[in-house]
Structure 1
Amino acid sequence: VDEHLKDPVGIPSAATAFRPVVLGLDTGSPAEEVLAFAFEEAQRRAARLTVVQGWNLPASYAYTMAGGYDPREDLARAQAGALTEVLLPWRKKYPDVEVDELSRLGSPASHLIDASHDASLVVVGRRVRRTLFGVHIGAVTHAVMHHATAPVAVVAHR
């Protein structure tokens, strides 16, 4: 997989810029280690950082629809706001890194896999969890590891 953008002839080249680094972020429990790794990689490559957040509708969604209220717009605004808030200190710490925020309804894994098509690297986290059967990774990380078209960095965190 070539990590660089195509040159004017249409061939990826080390003389061109890196493709973006993609970060999958859970704003409910953002991990410092994962954020630091992604920002440092984007800075090292002089690449954009695309932060992807996927979210699903709460189970109570069906009840609000029955009442004639569709909360999707409000939820989308709240999720986008949470993403911006989590990234604010990191944008200040890494002012040279250009950041794109993508907060979308739907499967986080699907959104990350889609974003991997234009990425030089996809960064996801893995909580340090041990079970009787060994180390466990989450469903999103598992899906991204198996289906992303760019290299994947899995960063362990607490």
Structure 2
Amino acid sequence: MSNRITVGLDGSGAGSVAADWAANEAELRGATLELVHAEDWAQYGPFAAPLPEPSRHWADDLLSLTRDRLLREHSRLDITTHGTRGLAASKVLASSAADADLLVLGSRGLGAVAGFIVGSTGSATIPETDTPVVLVRSAEGQSHPHRPADDAGPVVLGVDLRSNCDRLLAFACEEADRRSCPLVVVHGWSLPPVFSYAPALDPGVEKEMAVGLETTLRELLSPWEQKYPQLAVDARVVIGQSAIQILDAASGAALVVVGRRIRRPALGARIGPITHAVMHHATSPVAVVAHD
């Protein structure tokens, strides 16, 4: 990896908040910060054509002014800028993040009930890159910097014990270690349908299955706890829909980490339903980590 964080800018308040979060993260990592903006001609109509000259100047100003603002608050950061014209934003962001450690994007809030809009660019970019992507929340009209004080909570990780969790655990442990905060690991589960329709047939089944899952989770975490002995790890096996359990644990979190399986189907990659739900409803920044 290049020890670089890439953040996408689009001129919105969400993009500004994402840039501030990325700058704080770059300081934590001692990384370079790259600001990227893509002028996607296709979104302006069926006939692809260069944008008017004033729009080009606006795009250049967006990069330079954001860089200047961030340097006033993070004077030691190494910040670069990259602007591209006439290409799909998702392609530009995925390409820019190919050898980066992290890609950061903003998403706009709709309120406590409606959740958040990840946006077409974010939804298209995440399946196109194997680089971890962090979605940073911005409430409607919010454009103030995301301060380190906002990161006071734990790092929350949602795991599926049937999947390979190594990349997820490595990312989450490193993030919690950098922040010197606890790591909460959540596995949500439900009884198989044959038991859920008639649990009274064997009242001990649920408890027995829960104990087995807790043992499996502890065994999964054991080598990581040895690698990070100073890290406080809270392992939770909870019955209920996985997305709901992760979102419940994620209230006030510094960062929520979920996974996306790397698939190369003929019709394109996709984001799983649990990750999709967390992306759209968590109020904390969400990291989507691709894994096998």
Q: TM-score when scaled to structure 1? A: 0.84
1:118-151 per-position Cα deviation (integer Å, ceiling 9, x unaligned): 2000001111012333211111100000001100
The match for 1:18 is: 152
1:1-158 → structure 2 map (5 Å cutoff): 14=148, 18-62=152-196, 65=199, 67-158=201-292
The count of aligned residue pairs is: 149
Tell me which amino acid in the other structure corresponds to 1:150.
S
d(CA) in 1 for partners of 2:236 and 2:155? 13
1:54-111 per-position Cα deviation (integer Å, ceiling 9, x unaligned): 0010122157636354411111111111111110111001111110011100011001
Unaligned stretches of 5+ residues in structure 1: 4-12
- Secondary structure at 2:193 match in 1: coil
Q: Which structure: greater helix fraction? A: 2
Q: TM-score when scaled to structure 2? A: 0.47
Alpha carbons of 1:36 and 1:62: their partners in 2 closer, same or farther (altered >3 Å)? closer
Contact kept in structure 1, 2:151 and 2:253, CA below 8 Å: no
| RMSD, aligned CA | 2.3
d(CA) in 1 for partners of 2:200 and 2:234? 35
d(CA) in 2 for partners of 1:116 and 1:101? 14
Flag as ranges the 4+ runs of structure 1 deviating above 3 A: 13-17, 62-70
d(CA) in 2 for partners of 1:53 and 1:149? 20
d(CA) in 1 for partners of 2:288 and 2:202? 42
Contact kept in structure 1, 2:186 and 2:236, CA below 8 Å: yes
Shift of 1:33: 0.8
Shift of 1:30: 3.3
Q: Relative to structure 2, which stretch is displaced further, 118-127 or 17-26?
A: 17-26
Larger radius of gyration: 2
- State percent identity of aligned pairs: 48
Contact kept in structure 1, 2:188 and 2:245, CA below 8 Å: yes
Alpha carbons of 1:71 and 1:96: their partners in 2 closer, same or farther (altered >3 Å)? same
Unaligned stretches of 5+ residues in structure 2: 1-16, 22-146
Contact kept in structure 2, 1:64 and 1:70, CA below 8 Å: no
